[in-house]
Amino acid sequence: MDKKKLMKATWPIHQKVENMPFPKQMFQGKITKKTYHTFIYNEYCCINELEKIGKEKNLFDGLEDVPFATRILNDVSDIEEKSWKREKLESTKEYIDYINSEIKNDDMKIMAHIYVRHCAAMAGGQMIKTKVPGKATMFDFPCDTKITRDRIRDKVCDSVINEVAKCFEFAGKTFEDMEKHID
């Protein structure tokens, strides 16, 4: 789908989610290592599940540089202290359940989620990677992220614009859960 059209349709919800307390604090470099650990562990769980489904359906064909769950898990391990538990948030359980039970059979809907999750890391992620704890290797995509975002967008069709919005809503739920974990 055309970038302008897609961003015009999703910018209001992007703004709403971007301005929630958790991402705002993250952007200001105020998140502790422990809070960030919980956040990226949950990002890992969601994105790993999505990539597993996407790979089964060959949705990453031609987009081999896009999956990044392994790097997220490396970042989790890298900043982790022995006494810390890996806690799955309610919103994470809900997301994993949703993609498996509601949209798994719909390639285009899965692609809508790949667009939101992966383009988020390739766009805003590049702006926050210097402001979060640890090496943040998850944002180091081995490609030109602008060109790759164009390629991902090309695989998203107009009919799934509501699903794109739904994925933003799920990201908002994660941020809401994370508000309870801010130290």
Residue 157 near ligand HEM by CB under 6 A:
no
Tokens of 18: 């971007």
Point out which span in 47-55, 63-71, 83-91, 116-124 binds ligand HEM (CB under 6 A): 116-124
Query: Applying CB under 6 A, which of residues 108, 128, 165, 182 lies at the interface with ligand HEM?
Result: 128
Query: Applying CB under 6 A, which of residues 79, 123, 143, 182 lies at the interface with ligand HEM?
Result: 123
179 exposure class (CB count in 10 Å sphere: 0-12, 13-18, 19+): exposed
Point out which span in 13-21, 59-67, 91-99, 101-109 binds ligand HEM (CB under 6 A): 13-21
Query: Applying CB under 6 A, which of residues 57, 88, 151, 153 lies at the interface with ligand HEM?
Result: 153
Tokens of 100: 């498996």
DSSP 149: H
Q: How far is the CB of 81 from ligand HEM (least distance, A)?
A: 25
Point out which span in 31-39, 65-73, 95-103, 118-126 binds ligand HEM (CB under 6 A): 118-126
Q: Which is nearer to ligand HEM, 160 or 171 (CB)?
A: 171
Residue 14 near ligand HEM by CB under 6 A:
yes
Residue 31 near ligand HEM by CB under 6 A:
no
* Long-range interactions of 104-108: CB distance < 8 A, separation 24+: 104/53, 107/57, 107/59, 108/156, 108/157, 108/159, 108/160, 108/163
Q: Is 20 helix (H, G, I), strand (E, B) or coil?
A: coil
Cβ proximity of 128 and 31 under 8 Å: no
- What angle, rounded to 10 degrees, do the helices at 33-56 and 107-122 form? 140
Q: Which residues bind ligand HEM (CB under 6 A)?
A: 3, 6-7, 14, 17-18, 23, 26-27, 116, 119-120, 123-124, 127-128, 149, 153, 168, 171
